[in-house]
Amino acid sequence: MNASKIISYISSSLLTVVSSQAQGTFQNLDFELANPGSASYSLNMLVTSALPFWSVYYGSVQQTQILYNEIAVGSTSVSLLSTSSVTYLPIDGTYSVLLQGGLTASAASISQTGLIPAGTQSLLFEAADVGFHAGSLEVLVGTQIIPFAAVGTGPNYTLYAANISAWAGQTEQLTFSALEDLSVLNNWEIDDITFSTTAVLPGPGALALMLMGGLGFGMRRWRAEGF
């Protein structure tokens, strides 16, 4: 079975079970708990309103506000995107989060500490290209950078997976960081983070295969869009 068939099979299997997975004590993994309130038409929102249960960092500096329905070309930023945005729309539901690894800090990060459910094998998340080439994204459990790979696609996103079985049943910090990149505008729109009991990346061989498949998909997409 070739790489594209394996990725397609895994993707279809995951999408049928992902909604039923327990999330431990993590909350707002789909970003739907945002509460813009009277700030609906302002450029900035308090993190506590925009991303409840999450912390936001530009480099090592914790932020109290993020952008709302805005992008910052060249600057490190985090933005909450809603269905009322005139720039880029959410991947799913009413809200998504946009991480922009700009030139003003080493990374744009969101973090949350919680209990990873017992029996967890995989971390899944959806990410979208929002008009610029995506550079480096780091996913960390605690201080450990976790490799991830593309395992499928939806109508407006790529589905990524990482093997986090080693942390099942443990309380850990989960972090997503779009890194500073001098060569590209490093934008990652993220949504629907999920802990799954499905073993998506069972071993080094499968991981290498999926990484190759994900890279191939990305190159085909960039070429198709004329980059």
Tens-digit pLDDT string for the chain (227 aa): 444 433 444 444 444 444 345 688 999 999 999 998 765 556 889 999 999 999 999 999 999 999 999 888 889 999 999 998 888 899 999 999 999 998 999 999 999 999 999 999 999 999 987 766 567 999 999 999 999 999 999 999 999 999 999 999 999 999 999 999 877 778 999 999 999 998 877 554 444 444 444 444 343 343 444 43
39-41-46-49 Cα dihedral, nearest 10 degrees: 60
What distance in Å separates the CA atoms of residue 67 and residue 70, rounded to the nearest whole number?
6
Q: Which whole-number Å values give the CA distances from 175 to 125, 141, 218, 223, in the listed order?
A: 12, 7, 23, 30
Q: Which residue's structure tokens are 């009413």?
A: 94
Which pTM does this prediction carry?
0.80
Q: Where are the domains of the chain?
A: 3-224
What distance in Å separates the CA atoms of residue 90 and residue 97, rounded to the nearest whole number?
8
Closest CA to 52 of 37, 39, 76, 35: 35
Q: Which residue's structure tokens are 């945005």?
A: 85
CATH H-level superfamily of 3-224: Galactose-binding domain-like (2.60.120.260)
